[in-house]
Amino acid sequence: MAVALGFPAVALVLWPSATGQALHHLFFLLFSVAALSRLAAALTPRARETLLSLPDAALPAYTVIAPLYREAEIVPQLLEALEAIDYPRPRFQVLIVVEADDDATRQALTAVRLPRHVEVLVAPPGHPRTKPRACNIALERASGDLVTIYDAEDRPHPRQLREAAARFAAGPPRLACLQAPLRIERDHRFLPRQFAIEYAIQFETILPLLARLGLPFPLGGTSNHFRMSALRAVGGWDAWNVTEDADLGFRLAAEGYDLGVLELPTVEAAPDRLADWLPQRARWVKGYMQTFGVQTRQPPHWRTGVMLAFALTLGVAILAAMAHGPLLAWSLMSSAAHLGGGDGWLGPADLTLLAAGWLCAMAAAVVGMRRAGGEPRLRDLLAMPLYWPLLSLAAAHALWQLVRCPHHWDKTRHAARTGQVAA
């Protein structure tokens, strides 16, 4: 992967003119595809399925895995959210996984009286120290027919498990995973607001479109519901991948399984400081790079549909993260050159594409936020291009980490809840 990413830099030194032109055409194509995909997602109605609610006696056994690390302060919030889940307790298992050296979180758990269906597992010392490793440890003790992952700060809809159980019961055996939409709590500050828009585009428009087309997609890091048999058939999570969710979605698809989406959401808090947002975003981009490198080496993964969705999601996300900052600077300098009477570096077609891409992203944001139960503000939509260059900062950090510490897991500080979804 590092060689593939470094080749353009070397080519720019050796053949600057030809390489620059090739990269120009590549990014033009990239942004055209990204813009059109967002417009298509915004214009495609979300599929609605009428499902009969399963009676309690027909509900399958369900396991919830909650991996925690340095989460002592929000243990009470997690337990409250888990207890609010509407699912018959005899069929409900909760496995909370903590690290052996995380004394504070373990003490917070021992300080409260846990329900009988909640069990605390201690992950033994070992490497890598990642969330997917903790999930795999819990998977060995999981007894459910279905299993889902929740993060410490998650607030899932109380009937989300019932919806997933009904969808699996009505779906074909090859339906392996259902992703619930992730929605961000209301916060009018710049970073959380743009984060909420980004999530709304991804989980309320892009993923439903891909699911409706029968194409795979990168799973979110939480609230993905699996058939236990399918999850174990593919070996669980890759403990060395820092976006194990994205990797697992495409591994399932490569083995012939289908993915789908749910309607009932999980509410999360967004990083509210750049110091928290940057390592989280860098971990995502680094994990996407890891997944891209691993998946493209697997011959079964070269099925047409899998690779098409792979390119439209992970491929576009990686290249866009790298390109947003340089393209913004390039477009500003080019516009200044045009205004000064000189020749700009970007032609009219390029500037038109940038404007069209912005409008398509705005359309997807409006639809996504409305589906999430909110109403986007015009100033937030106009501020979107100010957020995108931050992705390039995260991508640079991710590339550095990919070389220096590829399996390091940046811990995200979880903000306190406000109790309201972004609107």
264-322 pLDDT per residue, tens: 999 999 998 999 999 999 998 998 888 888 877 765 556 666 777 877 788 888 888 88
Separation between Cα atoms, residue 127 and residue 394, nearest integer Å = 25
Phi/psi for 49 (5° steps) reads -120, 130
Residue 223 has pLDDT above 80, yes or no: yes
The pLDDT of residue 413 is: 64
Phi/psi for 324 (5° steps) reads -60, -50
The pLDDT of residue 69 is: 92
Q: Point out the least confidently predicted range of 111-125, 241-255, 309-323, 354-368.
A: 309-323
More confident residue, 78 or 357: 78
| Run of H or E including 9 | helix 2-14
pLDDT average, residue stretch 131-136: 95
CATH superfamily of 1-423: Spore Coat Polysaccharide Biosynthesis Protein SpsA; Chain A (3.90.550.10)
Q: Point out the least confidently predicted range of 93-102, 178-187, 309-318, 323-332.
A: 323-332
The pLDDT of residue 414 is: 57
Amino acid symbol at 43: L
396-413 pLDDT per residue, tens: 888 888 888 887 777 666
Whether 158 and 86 have beta carbons less than 8 Å apart is answered as yes
- How does residue 352 score in pLDDT terms, banded at 50, 70 and 90? confident
pLDDT average, residue stretch 360-370: 96
The pLDDT of residue 267 is: 96
pLDDT average, residue stretch 184-209: 94
| Residue with token string 């269906």 | 117
- b/e per residue 284-322 (b: at least 16 CB within 10 A): bbbbbbbbbbbbbeeeebeeeebbebbebbbbbbbbbbb
Q: Point out the least confidently predicted range of 13-22, 29-38, 135-144.
A: 13-22
- How does residue 30 score in pLDDT terms, banded at 50, 70 and 90? confident
> Hey, where are the domains in the chain?
1-423
Round the average pLDDT of the chain to a whole number and report it. 86
More confident residue, 305 or 251: 251
Which two three-digit tokens encode residue 56?
Answer: 């309690």
39-58 pLDDT per residue, tens: 999 999 987 777 778 999 99
The pLDDT of residue 345 is: 56
